[in-house]
Structure 1
């Protein structure tokens, strides 16, 4: 059987699953039967060395996404980034994640062997009743921030906010944050795996506390905290309603509700797509909840049909 060219089909990807001390069965409950009992993360669209997705279809089936990006940049609009710039995860937090912060590009380049920084965002897919997250802190300046961290005054420092299904949060570098237990979300981020842990509730992993990064955290956390606010923008088209959740220097994220048939001309270098509910078809390829794919630059005319919700991101 001849492999199909990506001029008429999407690039389907095999997710990479990762266990975590805070993981559990939320990813299985979402529909990922292959996830382990302690799974915490599904890396759905990734060319990062820590979780490089395998291509499932077409002329490069069996190859890694990083290989495809390095050797066939025409599929990604010939963008000049040294590495595939984005990473999309679904995170299922059975327990609380550590309280943490990410560096910006400049700090990561200097201190993390040239890595990208980590700007990310969260869309809440589901959560337990009365769920919350940590986002931001209460220190008035860097000195008070350092004092609170060094003295372990966590209840004074951290800022906890309630969440519900459908909420959205942009997490810029320097923002103190943590996903708390009972939360399922989809995360769109720069392709980086740099996390500085500030506090981990004195948990033990293999009998030892996990490493903290207090100096780096104090270096990176912005003080005082300022909430990030951006208006959601809704557009309606025949067969599809879109909601733009954020547009920042690294990505634009939209939620598409497709009900019927929707056709569009692809004018982006590439489009990341993750189906978070429902099922349908794109250019004749079946797609359903939990599947991740890329619409390459070479696929100009796209036709989606069915009843499904898709998270869309692009540079």
Structure 2
């Protein structure tokens, strides 16, 4: 049984820039905003780059070889991993939960996501939450365009982590590079986009859907981050929620483990080494399948590992 290495999908964006190219992706352009590193979503379906399934899409492998994913019952591959490079500010936005998306978005999943800040400019910040005390005040402030009163901005630094639950108003701001782990959903409701033009026209807004979905008042996520040391491994558990567990592994030497999850998504965010004899380096994305048995990582590297 082989590890599934993936060819990322790159997407240009009005707010994109050179950050993904500077991260090391030669395929990125000067307007690339997103690298979909592990995705079976129809909007960016990665292909397998090695072995028996080389050239097949991840969605095809998931559909036809569910045994590699622990025979989980989800109709679609449940997770999506992106690296986002924001040269400019993203829109002020919110994502729906599963229940709202199922009714209003043709049965789509909702979008719970989380961010780990890979790098950012000095004095960088992001939007997390808002200042409205209830739904009525929220709607009034939105309809009246009182954005400076509404939007809550907080400072960030490299290594910060944020869980973004459905209903949380949020936006990545310019000069930020991050890795995002999320449900496999592409549903985003824009409530404000700075009156920017794309191809000469304002981008579509979703004001009523946003008001429907934004939690008011805002509540910060208060989960605990834990750190464990095991030989040459430092494992930081960033979040455990209903949709995923996300861990950061810092390996300095070697780490052996027995695969006991339905599958595990892995993205290399720094350094280089090998896993089960295959070379891995910064920017690589792969899936460790169910039943592979013992895995051995060698090298000096940091990876993000997510699983159900």
Q: TM-score, normalised by structure 1?
A: 0.97
Counterpart CA distance in 1 for 2:97 and 2:39 is: 20
Matched residue, 2:134: 141
Among candidates 107, 118, 142, match of residue 111 of structure 2? 118
Among candidates 82, 100, 119, match of residue 89 of structure 1? 82
Q: CA deviation at 1:229?
A: 1.2
1:64-84: CA deviations, max 9, x gaps? 000000000000000000000
Matched residue, 2:250: 257
Counterpart CA distance in 2 for 1:301 and 1:251 is: 22
1:88-107: CA deviations, max 9, x gaps? 00000000000000000000
1:73 maps onto 2:66 in alignment: yes
Runs of 5+ unmatched residues, structure 2: none
Counterpart CA distance in 2 for 1:187 and 1:152 is: 29
Q: CA deviation at 1:231?
A: 1.1
State the SS of the aligned residue for 1:82. coil
Q: How does 1:1-315 map to 2 (within 5 A)?
A: 7=1, 9-315=2-308
Q: CA deviation at 1:298?
A: 2.6
1:211-236: CA deviations, max 9, x gaps? 00000000000000000011111111
Runs of 5+ unmatched residues, structure 1: 1-6
CA RMSD of aligned residues (A): 0.4
Matched residue, 1:3: none
Counterpart CA distance in 1 for 2:26 and 2:6 is: 16
State the SS of the aligned residue for 2:221. coil
CA contact (8 A) 2:260 2:291 kept: no
Matched residue, 1:4: none
Counterpart CA distance in 1 for 2:294 and 2:66 is: 19
Counterpart CA distance in 1 for 2:221 and 2:121 is: 24
Q: TM-score, normalised by structure 2?
A: 1.00
CA contact (8 A) 2:36 2:82 kept: yes
Equivalent residues, number: 308
Counterpart CA distance in 2 for 1:74 and 1:238 is: 32
State the SS of the aligned residue for 2:236. strand
Structure 1 residue runs of 4 or more that deviate by more than 2 Å after TM superposition? none
State the SS of the aligned residue for 2:227. strand
Counterpart CA distance in 2 for 1:184 and 1:303 is: 29
State the SS of the aligned residue for 2:81. strand
